[in-house]
Amino acid sequence: EGHPTHPLTKTKLPLSMEEVRTYSPEFEKIINLKVMLIHNEYVNVTTILDHSQFILNEVIPEYLDELHTFMNNRERLLKDYKVILVHPWQYEHTIRNKFKEWLQNHILISTPFHVPSKATSSFRTMSLINHPYHVKLPVNVQATSAVRTVSPETTIDGPKLSQALHRELNQYTQLDVVLEPYGLFAKTDSDDARQLACIIREKPFIKNDGILLVTGALVNKNVVDNEITVDSYLKWMNDDINQHTIHQFMRNYTRQLVIPLLALIQDYGIALEAHMQNTLVHLGPEYQIQFIVRDLGGSRIDIKTLSQKLKHIEVENKSLLADSIEEVIMKFQHAVVQNQLAELIFHFKKYDFIKEEELFNIIQEEIEVAINDTKPHADTLRKVLFGPTITVKALLKMRMKKKVKKYLNISLDNPIKREVN
């Protein structure tokens, strides 16, 4: 189906139809990522494990001997270079042109080796086959409203923030953040650097019985019984779909998701972009629901709140920094309430016995319970989340007006509005 609230998401400009079939995740093609080498003097590395050769030694150690031989035959030392993985489309259409001189001068070296992968739902994040890692790569393609490159700052902030949040979220068993142990980017001007970069992520994993899937799959048909996935789950749990089971699912799903996410806002001033593409859900028996959030690049941070808890952390990517705590809360409102929870309600309201107002009331009640009056920002959370209107991106208008970086917004009535003192 694609992204139901992002019109034309599957157009992937400027890909041809054949390239869409080759690289889009729904076709499940194996995509061979290029193994390239970049000279140490021209690359910036961020590692949380003090391991500057992380890709070579931890991600693809099977290529170590072959890369040594490859470089020795060229009278160069492998230790003088870092391994970087590159999407094949990006190499053919961007790297060969933008980094032509680097290739000629052996600052950047193309090797004959490849790492097989498959695209995840985010298109440019690749799941490495038979390796416990994902890699987020720049692909100079416009999908939805943005061109899918990787900013240099994200390769620095991702590992640092994921390490900090991974540690802080240990108190919440229902939600975790995917660890990003390593990132690197080419040392050149910013526009070119975002074309040659990558972030390594651990593959999401939960040990408990059940199934782990991206939450966007909940409202799409699955290949097992050709039913909408969340309906299949309710039938597996109860042998029936009725008002009670849907209400119970929505209450538990909302509670498990919003308690840790609102705690992050109140304790650290951080709103994760936990929409249906970035969030994975583990569905277990007896409504056992756990979440994993991946990709910190869309987070919003109130630096004043964060600095009080993590005094030595620095945020390189200024686009992550919000002008106010209200802006942080609006990120939660957009990603979690509008995108995640409202999509489930949109699906469930197809049943005659379900009223969407009742499900939005459940969301309102669970958010109210999750707000902790002993912590900062409680009143502001209520003012923003229960206010009369919400701000929504006008995504079709953005595509028609070719707005890539600047958002166009509209205001709509807030489905969970209520009187706030």
Spatial CA neighbour of 5 closest among 253, 216, 298: 216
pLDDT score, position 2:
56
| Angle at which helices 356-370 and 378-385 cross, to 10° | 170
Task: Give the model's confidence band at 416: pLDDT under 50 very low, under 70 low, under 90 confident, else very high.
Answer: very high
Q: Are residues 193 and 254 in the same domain?
A: no
In a domain, 170, yes or no: no
Q: Which two tokens stand for residue 314?
A: 């620095």
Q: Are residues 233 and 146 in the same domain?
A: no
pTM over 0.75: yes
What range defines the domain where residue 217 resides?
Answer: 211-413
Supply the CATH number for residue 342's domain: 1.10.510.40
Q: Are residues 335 and 198 in the same domain?
A: no
Spatial CA neighbour of 184 closest among 196, 173, 174, 175: 196
Number of domains in the chain: 2
**Phi-psi group of 295: left, alpha or beta (phi > 0 → left; psi -120 to 50 → alpha; rest → beta):** left
- Model confidence over 294-341: pLDDT tens digits? 988 889 999 999 988 887 778 888 889 999 999 999 999 999 999 999
Average pLDDT over every residue of 387-403: 81
Measured CA to CA, the distance from residue 79 to residue 16 in angstroms comes to 39
Residue with the bigger pLDDT between 8 and 218: it is 218
H/E element, 345: helix 342-348
Residue with the bigger pLDDT between 12 and 323: it is 323
Q: Are residues 198 and 309 in the same domain?
A: no
Task: Give the model's confidence band at 7: pLDDT under 50 very low, under 70 low, under 90 confident, else very high.
Answer: low
List of residues 6+ apart from 28 with CB closer than 8 A: 118
Q: Degrees (nearest 5) of the Cα angle 224, 280, 355?
A: 75
Average pLDDT over every residue of 129-154: 88
Residue with the bigger pLDDT between 49 and 101: it is 101
- Model confidence over 143-169: pLDDT tens digits? 766 778 999 999 999 998 888 888 777
pLDDT score, position 147:
75
- Return mean pLDDT, the chain: 91
